[in-house]
Amino acid sequence: MGTIVQFKVYGKNAEKATQAAVKEVSNIEKKMSVNIKTSEISKLNAKAGVSGEKLSTDTYSVIEKSVQYSKLTGGALDATIEPIVSLWGIGTDKERLPSKKEIDEKLKFVNYNDIILDKKNSTVKLKRMNQAIDLGAIAKGYTADEVKKVLLNNKISSAIINLGGNVYALGNKPDGTSWNIGVQNPLSTRGEYLGSISATDKSIVTSGNYERFFIKDGIRYHHIFDPKSGYPANKGLISTTIVSDKSIDGDALSTSTYILGLDKGLKLVESMKGVEAIFITNDKKIYVTPGLKDNFDLTNKEFTYEKGR
């Protein structure tokens, strides 16, 4: 998945459960990765504009969910972003700043309405040649949910699933108290926290511009793209954290609220039941939704709460 995967699993069955969980991660990756030539997604992309690809229920459901979120977010999340992702190549040895002309050329292929879903046959087709799907914004969330199921099936009731910052806190700590999940400080490198969230049976997912990026002429170009422009999203946020029951929702929402920006992002999250958020702006202000306030502990004084929030 192009990231570090870490499990902390407690209980008698932990060893066996962890092995099953690792296997689940690689099974999903084999189906959904754009970087694996034999994956279902690669096959589907190769047939764009020609024919559909029959998919496993796993892959089908993730694409379907992605389309639902595209509709909900007015196209902020769009799995057909792949031509733009490849053009920029951020995080690969081909990363570069493309010309506006190149970007506009690729942007023509980005449109989630061209994902043709056939649920009865579990088949997906991309309408036009050169279109391609990338599930990078949502697949880790789905994977966390599936890993959780594997652990539960193996009688585990206390664990942390961490797929490169996409975290699920299963049950409580072995001592019976809630887990404390660190919230990444978006201004420093991975593993430095600005605070923590106390959580039991919750998903905590953060998207930010610190994850994968390059800097050219003082400008940071990162890996979360605005499908309207084809450029990295730049609506004043540097990180978005979503707390939810299901990690697929958290993953979809952290990426899309990042793209939508503070006002629209907050509005969206506040309209959804059981979803809480922490948004951090360029000027180091923190917005926390009311339902999360009591469970969030801000420790880094560099960041300040926005008044009224």
Which residues are at the interface with ligand ADP (CB under 6 A)? 77-79, 81, 85, 134, 136-137, 140, 164-166, 207, 211, 223-225, 227, 251, 254-255, 259
Binding window for Mg ion (CB under 5 A); candidates: 14-22, 64-72, 182-190, 244-252: 244-252
Spatial separation of the C-alpha atoms in residues 224 and 232, rounded to whole Å: 5
* Positions in 146-175 near Mg ion (CB under 5 A): none
240 near Mg ion, judged by CB under 5 A: no
The two structure tokens encoding residue 67: 């389309």
Instruction: Give the DSSP letter of residue 211.
Output: S
- Which residue is closest to ligand ADP by CB? 136
Binding test (CB under 5 A) with Mg ion, winner from 131, 162, 234, 255: 255
* Chain-centre distance for alpha carbon 124: 21
Nearer to Mg ion, 53 or 145 (CB): 145
Part in contact with Mg ion (CB under 5 A); list of ranges 136-144, 147-155, 181-189, 281-289 = 136-144
Query: With CB cut-offs between 5 and 8 Å by kind, which of Mg ion, ligand ADP, none does residue 85 bind?
Result: ligand ADP
Please choose, from the candidates 268, 265, 272, 263, the residue with its C-alpha nearest in 3D space to the C-alpha of residue 244.
272
What is the 3-state composition of the chain as percent helix, strand, coil, each rounded to the nearest 5? 35, 25, 40
Contacted entry of ligand ADP, Mg ion, none for residue 79, CB cut-off 5 to 8 Å set by kind:
ligand ADP
Q: Tell me the three state secondary structure of residue 279.
A: strand
The closest alpha carbon to 276, from 303, 298, 294, 301, belongs to: 294
Closest distance of CB 157 from Mg ion, Å: 27
Q: In angstroms, what is the minimal distance from the CB of 13 to ligand ADP?
A: 29
For Mg ion, give the closer residue by CB, 185 or 254: 254
| The dihedral sign for the CA sequence 77, 131, 82, 21 | positive
d(CA 184, CA 64): 30
Tell me if 251 contacts Mg ion by CB under 5 A.
yes
Closer by beta carbon to ligand ADP, 78 or else 249: 78
- Identify what 261 binds: Mg ion, ligand ADP, none; CB under 5 to 8 Å per kind: none
Which letter does DSSP use for residue 232 in this model? B
Going from the C-alpha of 126 to that of each of 32, 39, 42, 114, 275, the distances in angstroms are 16, 16, 12, 6, 31
Pick between residue 141 and residue 195 the one whose CB is nearest to ligand ADP: 141
257 near Mg ion, judged by CB under 5 A: no
User: Which spans of this chain sit near Mg ion (rule: CB under 5 A)?
Assistant: 137, 251, 254-255
